[in-house]
Structure 1
Amino acid sequence: MKISPPPAVTVVVIGFDDVSHVADAVRSALAQGPAVTEVIAVDDCSTDGSGALLHELATHERRLTVVHREHNSGGCGTPRNDGLARASSPYVMFLDSDDELPPGAVDALLGAARRHGAEVAAGLCVRRELPSGRETPWQPELYAEPSVVTHPARRRRLVHDTLCVNKLYRTDFLRGHGIRFPDGRFVYEDFVFTARVLAAGPRMALVPDPVYVWHVRRSADRLSLSLDRARIDNWQARLDAHRTAVDILLGAEQKRLARAARAHFLDHSLRMYARELDLRDPEYRTEWWTRTRTYLKTFDTADFELAPAPGRVVGRIVQATEEPCDLPRVKELAARPARLLPPYAYAPDGTPAWSAELPQVTLDHLLHRPVHLLPVAVEGELRPGPRGTRLSLVMHELYGRVADAGPRMMDVELVDRECGGVVQRRTAAVTAQPEQQWAATVPLDLSALGRAGTWDIRIRLHFADGSHRDTTAHAVNRPDLLRRVAVPSRRHGVLLAQPYATHSGALALRTAPGLRGVVSVVRRRAGRLLH
């Protein structure tokens, strides 16, 4: 029989104008059981009735305390600090009003903290896309198995997990080291708080259990601060938070952690924003480029060398020019997985280089990089038609590495973006083409798709030397290829199919089956024309 730990945890829930979700968040904390001594809900001066709803919940639950702020703080840090100041339990956790704690989260973290005498216990956060419900683990490599880290410097990857909400903290540890969140409107306050925690050198217990569900609502009327990336202010806030976090680590003489944080910036933040640059206007791009160059001047060679190659190269390109350049190719290299599109240039000394214009950005690492990590470029053309759907794929040579490996087969998977399930698999032989290219053609049965949806195309390249590379296809950007086509369907009579390019340039597919789907698409198009 499982015995729950004695009461020991305060859960601080923060919210602003989130009346639709805050009650679910609070209930998920209370449902953790007797280990939760109190839940402190801090309402950041909401105007939508959130405060009244919390007050009503508190009349029926003695463990719930509601704190009403008189002035909106503009961010997440101040209300969390308010809750932390009032926490009376030996341990504390943080929860946002639009997220939730899964069953057993507190017991898993509290048990690990006590068992190993840890000041901090951390577990797996799951990003749940809504409304689809598709889940993606956050930093799963850190939480693959139970472990104890006696000092954060012994596991530099800890700087990758900048979240504060998937962790349990000993309250006296935070207070004893004066660890707080930045006050006011400070976006990415987690970066700074987490750096302060790591700089204090806690003993940490890591558990593989899911302990936090991060709800991602990309279609919400008001995006979360971290998802609202369309303005340059958001990028500047990220730069400021990251710079502050690195300074904190350096101030605590945690140079290895600071270097790991900079390398992670290149691999994560830089790549994420770089692949969205073509969505922004020219003014944004110029300003982004200038501010990024300024920040990258604080990095040294060792910071770059520690970063995975795609982010390192993107950073070098930004450093090498004063104005945005070659953005279509930069976007593809910043994608996950990375794709290096032609042309393939050489520096004067024969070293592979980014371009003839930027020979100083060398790519010599490609000459010895393992095949399964090469940014091989595959271009895809998806042609839905009344006699069937054909996916044509062309793979480019990459400084002799593809030919050396010997391409043989391509596996193609059609993946339901909503649930992540594979709905079709096909395999085709690769044939050599002129100009150092290899081609494969794969038939797809779109008529078998059972509903309207979005479908990603994943590819596995097989080589004669036994290696393989998982990638996606670059969408050839031609109007005749990226257009909506009506095709016959055995199940629905008719199916609207539209190949399109994702934000990172990958080929994907949208479908709307049946007469109802056709009418829906026509109405949406008419609505856009009217507005």
Structure 2
Amino acid sequence: MDLMLPAPQDPHPAPQVAVVVIGYDDASHVADAVRSALRQGPAVGEVIAVDDCSTDGSAELLERLAEHDARLRVVRRSENSGGCGTPRNTGIDAVTLPYVMFLDSDDVLPTGAVDALLRAAVAADAQVASGLCVRRELPSGREQPWQPTLYAAPAVLARPADRPRLVDDTLCVNKLYRTSFLREHNIRFPEGRFLYEDFVFTARVLAAAPRVALVPDRVYTWNVRRSADRLSLSLDRDGIDNWHARTRACAQAHEILLSAGQKVLARAARVKFLDHELRMYLRELHLRSPEYRRAWWEHTRAFLGHYEAADWEPNPAAPGRLIGRVVMACPEPAELPRLRELAARPARLLPPYARAFDGTPIWSAALPQVSLAPLLTRPASGLPVAVDAELLVRMRTSRLRLRLHELYGRVAEAGPLAVTVEWRFRPTGRTARRVTIPFVPTGADLWTAETPVDLTALGAGVWDLWLTLHFKDGTSREATAHARRDSPQLRRRALPDPHHLLLLAHPYATHSGALALRVATGPLGAARVAKGRLQRILR
């Protein structure tokens, strides 16, 4: 039998990929971004750094870097564009290689990212290759994968409509594009100050029906610096103009897909808005002024008014659909605390659980037109169950008390059996303690569970409470617990501690209403807490 030897590897492969790095007044980070692109290896033949008329010396820094690597080319714009689209278009025009990808000045490419994407694109003869992006919160270093289910396994799609959830990944930076594909279809970013320009660009890419290769490799690290003096355009959500910009980008993306005959993707884009944008902004709505809330509510109702009946149909019990229907049913902001809980991830639908005269589940007596009947057929593992939690901080042994609520008979039908309690360290997601305890029926519509909590063993930091509910029918449901705002336990307490002399424990409600715990240990930890509180008061 003849043995086929593998073809020898070319020690000097031809460069295939251009990386376009854009930046404005980001001298403290842009060098790291550029170096991460240059370190990708010989596949990267050019790194095009487009400086959007910086005033902090960024362009000069890039020029000095270019003196040490001929692959780096610096393009200096003479006028600031006000956004990210124009400098990326400038970069596309300057590319001379078969493939291109994009990198922002405050992010980095992980080692091997370009090779993974290029290998997939070439093997599949794909115009687009896409991989996993990871959001890294700084300075904590906490990492969270972006749309991980899309990248759970390698895949090749003959066209995007074969996997409509591609519309959920609106990022342009975790993808490799065939340069000729972008040019042939005149796919470009919106010019000037256009927030969420990648929504529109990605829609134009999908509308052109490329062959797509997906890889599970980590190909992009998105650094999120919320404590920065100047937030990125997309993260600065305090003003109502940001919401206007976001809905405008979503509307344009939908229109692009619809006009191209991509009806499946266009509908998926509208579903994505309900499940992602609507829930994200509603979780923060209670933090805004009454004027903002009224403007947000009015604009959202107008936006959702363009939805067709079929846009509401897929999975009608999904939290985003229910939230949208409540917003459309109320001319003024209403039900915000309950909506915030439903917008949480995982969703929580708090009582009361109203019914119409015929027994049909409804949102409330005031909104009988918002039916909750789809909950009657939703799997128990997907129900927006509500669990209340109280952490009783005590001198000796603190205790966590949980109360699981009935939901139109579905919880009793599944049969609550036990709950696994986890305290996860927020910066890393590490679980410090996991314990499974039984549920005890308490009346017809309530199940309770209680467990001790060793605050000293947890240690200093911020801890999130996560639950896994186990049912007798064999199903389970991951959940977070609602922090009861009427509880006197949501306050800071100082306790003597044998290991640290002093321990400060502060159970509190997160923006989405979930119970979390902040712990400070020792005199120095207590002093830092006091200093931070004083600074917030003086602001």
The equivalences for 1:313-328 within 5 A come to 313-328=322-337
The equivalences for 1:255-266 within 5 A come to 255-266=263-274
2: distance between equivalents of 1:240 and 1:321? 22
Q: What is residue 353 of structure 2 aligned with on the other side?
A: 344
Q: What is residue 455 of structure 1 aligned with on the other side?
A: 463
Pair 225,3 (structure 1): closer, same or farther in 2 beyond 3 Å:
farther
Give the C-alpha shift of residue 526 in structure 1.
3.0
Aligned to 1:508, which of 491, 495, 516?
Answer: 516
The equivalences for 1:135-154 within 5 A come to 135-154=143-162
> Quick one: which amino acid aligns to residue 421 of structure 1?
R
**Residues 65-108 of structure 1 deviation map (CA, whole Å, 9 limit, x = unaligned):** 11111111110000000000010111111000000111111111
The equivalences for 1:121-132 within 5 A come to 121-132=129-140
Q: What is residue 392 of structure 1 aligned with on the other side?
A: 401
Give the C-alpha shift of residue 426 in structure 1.
2.1
Give the C-alpha shift of residue 348 in structure 1.
2.8
2: distance between equivalents of 1:376 and 1:309? 13
Secondary structure, aligned partner of 1:509: strand
> Quick one: which amino acid aligns to residue 120 of structure 1?
V
**Residues 441-461 of structure 1 deviation map (CA, whole Å, 9 limit, x = unaligned):** 1111001133x3110000111
Is the 2:121–2:213 contact (alpha carbons within 8 Å) kept by the matching residues of 1? yes
Pair 161,528 (structure 1): closer, same or farther in 2 beyond 3 Å:
closer
Give ranges in structure 2 of 5+ residues lacking alignment: 1-7
Give the C-alpha shift of residue 216 in structure 1.
1.1
Give the C-alpha shift of residue 479 in structure 1.
6.3
Secondary structure, aligned partner of 1:7: coil
Secondary structure, aligned partner of 2:67: helix
Alignment of 1:118 with 2:126, yes or no, is: yes
Alignment of 1:46 with 2:41, yes or no, is: no
Of 513-522 and 481-490, deviating more is 481-490
> Quick one: which amino acid aligns to residue 274 of structure 1?
L
Of 326-335 and 212-221, deviating more is 212-221
Give the C-alpha shift of residue 488 in structure 1.
2.8
The equivalences for 1:476-491 within 5 A come to 476-478=484-486, 480-491=488-499
Give the C-alpha shift of residue 486 in structure 1.
1.1
Q: What is residue 475 of structure 1 aligned with on the other side?
A: 483
2: distance between equivalents of 1:244 and 1:449? 48
Secondary structure, aligned partner of 1:246: helix
Aligned to 2:420, which of 396, 411, 422?
Answer: 411
1: distance between equivalents of 2:209 and 2:531? 58
2: distance between equivalents of 1:449 and 1:494? 14
Pair 503,2 (structure 1): closer, same or farther in 2 beyond 3 Å:
farther
Give the C-alpha shift of residue 279 in structure 1.
0.7
> Quick one: which amino acid aligns to residue 315 of structure 1?
G
2: distance between equivalents of 1:79 and 1:101? 19
Secondary structure, aligned partner of 1:221: coil
1: distance between equivalents of 2:435 and 2:155? 40
Q: What is residue 424 of structure 1 aligned with on the other side?
A: 433
> Quick one: which amino acid aligns to residue 208 of structure 1?
P
Give the C-alpha shift of residue 401 in structure 1.
1.0
The equivalences for 1:14-93 within 5 A come to 14-93=22-101
2: distance between equivalents of 1:481 and 1:23? 48
**Residues 5-51 of structure 1 deviation map (CA, whole Å, 9 limit, x = unaligned):** 53011100000111111000000000001111100001111111111
Q: What is residue 232 of structure 1 aligned with on the other side?
A: 240
2: distance between equivalents of 1:408 and 1:250? 47
> Quick one: which amino acid aligns to residue 70 of structure 1?
S
> Quick one: which amino acid aligns to residue 316 of structure 1?
R
Is the 1:9–1:38 contact (alpha carbons within 8 Å) kept by the matching residues of 2? yes
Give the C-alpha shift of residue 3 in structure 1.
6.0
The equivalences for 1:266-285 within 5 A come to 266-285=274-293
2: distance between equivalents of 1:421 and 1:530? 34
2: distance between equivalents of 1:340 and 1:24? 44
Aligned to 1:380, which of 389, 407, 410?
Answer: 389
State the aligned residue count.
530
Is the 2:390–2:487 contact (alpha carbons within 8 Å) kept by the matching residues of 1? no
Secondary structure, aligned partner of 2:370: coil
Alignment of 1:360 with 2:369, yes or no, is: yes
1: distance between equivalents of 2:442 and 2:337? 25
**Residues 289-343 of structure 1 deviation map (CA, whole Å, 9 limit, x = unaligned):** 1111111111112211225610000000111111011000000001000000011
Give ranges in structure 1 of 5+ residues lacking alignment: none
Give the C-alpha shift of residue 253 in structure 1.
0.6
Is the 1:416–1:422 contact (alpha carbons within 8 Å) kept by the matching residues of 2? yes
Give the C-alpha shift of residue 141 in structure 1.
1.3
Is the 1:462–1:468 contact (alpha carbons within 8 Å) kept by the matching residues of 2? yes
**Residues 214-264 of structure 1 deviation map (CA, whole Å, 9 limit, x = unaligned):** 111111111111111111111110100000011000110111100011011
Alignment of 1:173 with 2:181, yes or no, is: yes
Give the C-alpha shift of residue 2 in structure 1.
6.8
Is the 1:385–1:486 contact (alpha carbons within 8 Å) kept by the matching residues of 2? no
Alignment of 1:95 with 2:103, yes or no, is: yes
Is the 1:410–1:459 contact (alpha carbons within 8 Å) kept by the matching residues of 2? yes
2: distance between equivalents of 1:2 and 1:332? 56
Secondary structure, aligned partner of 1:18: coil
Is the 1:78–1:184 contact (alpha carbons within 8 Å) kept by the matching residues of 2? yes
Q: What is residue 334 of structure 1 aligned with on the other side?
A: 343
> Quick one: which amino acid aligns to residue 420 of structure 1?
G
Structure 1-normalised TM-score? 0.98
Alignment of 1:164 with 2:172, yes or no, is: yes
**Residues 116-139 of structure 1 deviation map (CA, whole Å, 9 limit, x = unaligned):** 111111111111111122211111
Give the C-alpha shift of residue 147 in structure 1.
1.1
Secondary structure, aligned partner of 1:311: helix
> Quick one: which amino acid aligns to residue 258 of structure 1?
A
Give the C-alpha shift of residue 110 in structure 1.
0.9
Is the 1:74–1:184 contact (alpha carbons within 8 Å) kept by the matching residues of 2? yes
2: distance between equivalents of 1:468 and 1:2? 49
Is the 2:421–2:435 contact (alpha carbons within 8 Å) kept by the matching residues of 1? yes
**Residues 135-164 of structure 1 deviation map (CA, whole Å, 9 limit, x = unaligned):** 111111111111111111111111111110
Give the C-alpha shift of residue 349 in structure 1.
2.5
Give the C-alpha shift of residue 523 in structure 1.
2.3
2: distance between equivalents of 1:527 and 1:501? 21
Structure 2-normalised TM-score? 0.96
Give the C-alpha shift of residue 395 in structure 1.
1.0
Give the C-alpha shift of residue 435 in structure 1.
5.4
1: distance between equivalents of 2:60 and 2:384? 54
